[in-house]
Structures are given as C-alpha cells and as structure tokens.
Amino acid sequence: MYHGLNYTIEQVVKEKGIPKETLIDAIQEAILSASKKKFGNHLDLEARYNDELSEVEIFQFKTVVEEVNEPDSEISLEEAKKHDPECMVGDSIGIKMDTSKLGRIAAQTAKQVMLQKVRNAESDVIYNEYKGKIGDIVTGIIQRIEKNHYVVNLGKTDAIMSFKETIPSENYRQRDRIKGYVLEVEKNQKGCTIQLSRTHPGFLKRLFELEVPEIQEGIIKILAAAREPGERAKISVYSEDPDVDPIGACVGVKGSRVQAVVQELRGEKIDIIPWHKDPAKFVCNTLAPARVSKVYLNEEEHAMEIIVNDDQLSLAIGKKGQNVRLASKLTGWKIDISSESELEKSSKKVIDELMEGLEVSEILARVLHDEYLRDAFDIAKLSPEELNKITSISIEDCARIIEKARDLAKKAKKEETTV
C-alpha cells in the first residue's frame, strides 16, 4: 500500500517546491498515526522511511526480559535473539510490523494527515517566498470575483485584492491580467493569505522603479509619494549625481516613462517634485505650478502658513483642496494657504490686538506676528533672553512684555473658567 513512494515524493517536491525531508516527515507521521489507530496508542511504535525499498516501515519497540509479563512492551531473550542474535536483557529492540494489516479507515487517516502536512509545508514555502516580496509588484490573473474582493492567481498560489485597494475607476473581469503591490503576507489556519494593493503609494514608487533605470541603479531616489488614487499623485525625487536631472529621467523622452506609469494607474495625473533639504523650499516646490509669495514656519507645530497672490490661491489649493492635501501628505508638514488680501485682513486684527494688549509698537507687533507669536499664551512661555533674540529689543523691555503677556493669559484663562 505504501510502496513506490519515491516517484510520488519526487513529483510533489518538483511541483510544490516542498523540501523532501519535510515530505518524508509528513508521510512517516501519517503512517505512524494510522498504525497507532489500528494497533493501539499504548504501543511504542516508530515509522521510518526506507529509501531503498521506497516504503515506510513501522517498528514496534520492546524491552528484552527474562520473563514476559507485558507482551505489548516486553519480549523474551529467546524470541529477541531471532531478530538480533547479539541482544541482551535490558536492550530495546524494534520489530518490523506487517503494515498490510492496516485497514481502509487507517489508510484514510494516513492520507488525511499526509495531505494536511503537505498543505502546511506548501503554505510555509509560499509564506517564506512572498514574505520577501512585501513591497514588490507581482502580476496575476483574476481567478474569480467575490463579494468585496478579487481572487488573483499568481501561479503557485492565490492572492486577495480588496475592492478598496483598487483604483476607483477600475473594474476587472475574470481572466483579466492585473499588477498588484504586495501589501501583506499572513500565515493563518487556512494557510497563507497574500493581500495586494493598487492604491498604496508604494505601488507608484515601484512602477517608476520599473520604468526608470536610474532609480534601479540608485542614482535617483524617490524620497516620498502621496496619492489620491485614480486622480492625482505627487512624488519627490532627488539625484545623487548632480549631472543627472531627476525630473527629466522620470519623465523620459517625450514623456514616455511617466506616461507608462500614468497608463497603468488609469490616467492618474503625476506631479514630479524636486526634493529640497530646506523644508520651506520643498513645500513651495510641491505647490507648483502655483507661485508662493511668503512662507511662515512654525517648527514647534510642524506647520507652515503659505501666502500666495490672490490670483494664485485657487491654483495652490487645487480642485476640492487636492493640491494642498497631497503637498501636506508628501512633505509631512501641516500647510495652511492664504491669499495676500486674506493675510492682510487677519494679520491686521492680530497686530492690533498685540499692540493694544502688550502696549507695543506696530513694527514690534508685526515682528511677533511673523514669528508665529500671535497671542499672549505663546509670548508668556518665553524667557526675556528668547524674546530678545527674536526682537533685538532690550532684555528689560522683553521682561516687561512677557510679564504683560502672562497677566493677559491669566485673565483669559480666568474668564474661560468662569464661562
């Protein structure tokens, strides 16, 4: 029943990529399980794969004794010598059993255990292979469409692509070819689950890597990517070599490289932004084609107030706020955009309040406003030395302004508590 296994093992090893030792262990365990079911769990049994005979042998181990009291675990010296002439009392010897006595049910058990082991081993092989592919692009065929996801055949295994992970305008049918970004690889009771995505920013970065040899070679780096899938995306690029133009390389001759990516992403518009180490300049680059007039930096809150001419405001913000949203995602800075006239209106109110509350000149109030020190609470936190560095007025005047700010802050807090 278990003869001629070598051929089967070789086939499974070849087709499934499972190590031979893993398969042999699974077969031995399966036959042992079936043997114990047939002959009894209490017996000391062992399964060994005989490569030469191409079969699994079952051995029952017994202790050699002068007088047998427990026939299931003991054997007389006289009987034992028939199996091993050199054995002595106290030795443990294995006696080969006749596995032809294993019935149909036991054989079924063996088959089930073996299949389960093979499935587990196959799952391990797939898990180990695809775990290393997280963040890579794979190609597959849509096998079937389920309630909220596609099942994608990758050749050796299937992957899942949730509808949420596809570009909104996309609609796939059975047998369609599809590219996906390996998002997650998880091991579970059913085997191995591979999650794919087409909306992840990493998918965009990888597509450019496939199209642009300079990225593969490490000359050009994509430092960040932000997307609103199917609509618009921004990537920031940097060249390690000053002679290589990162934007030109990503765009390609007559836009060939960027167009290949756009096509794969169903017409998603892609802005390629030159990275800059100065965060203010970098943010200004991300808002192009809008022209920026002024930038107010608030490092503590990791925020920037961007001022543009009135005619540039809608361009900087973008359709439904898309341009500024993507710029914020790409740079990691919180970005507020105002027009010159809006700024003048809001800043005049703040400057007037600072002049009145702190009893300072308009010039000093403007300096405080431009340094993001726009209310009593912000100024009250400073030391006279810190305020002196910002304003260049005397330490004594700085101390007086801070004291005034603290009084205003206390008064405001008291009024808040009363309300």
The residue-averaged pLDDT of 355-363 equals 84
Asked whether 388 and 394 are in contact (CB, 8 A), the reply is yes
CA atoms within 13 A on the CB side of 98: 3
Res 107: pLDDT? 61
pLDDT digits (tens, 9 = 90+) for 202-248: 999 999 999 999 999 999 999 999 999 999 999 999 998 999 999 99
The residue-averaged pLDDT of 364-388 equals 84
Res 29: pLDDT? 84
Res 5: pLDDT? 65
Res 133: pLDDT? 94
Res 374: pLDDT? 81
Res 106: pLDDT? 58
Res 256: pLDDT? 94
Judge whether residue 7 has pLDDT over 80: no
The confidence band for 417, taking pLDDT boundaries of 50, 70 and 90, is low
Least confident of 88-92, 268-272, 378-382: 378-382
Judge whether residue 259 has pLDDT over 70: yes
404 alpha-carbon distance from chain centroid: 51
Higher pLDDT, 113 or 215: 215
Q: Residue 291 has what DSSP assignment?
A: P
Res 41: pLDDT? 86
Provide φ and ψ at 51, rounded to 5°: -65, -40
Mean pLDDT of the chain: 87
Judge whether residue 1 has pLDDT over 50: no
Asked whether 365 and 373 are in contact (CB, 8 A), the reply is no
The confidence band for 380, taking pLDDT boundaries of 50, 70 and 90, is confident
Res 99: pLDDT? 75
Judge whether residue 346 has pLDDT over 50: yes
* % of the chain exceeding 90 in pLDDT: 47
Distances (CA, A) of 386 to 364, 389, 392, 393: 15, 5, 10, 11
Res 232: pLDDT? 95
Least confident of 2-11, 309-318, 405-414: 2-11
Whether a cis peptide bond, with omega within 30° of 0, leads into 279 is no
The residue count for the chain: 419
Judge whether residue 416 has pLDDT over 70: no
The residue type found at 247 is: I
Give dist(CA 283, CA 70) in Å, integer: 85
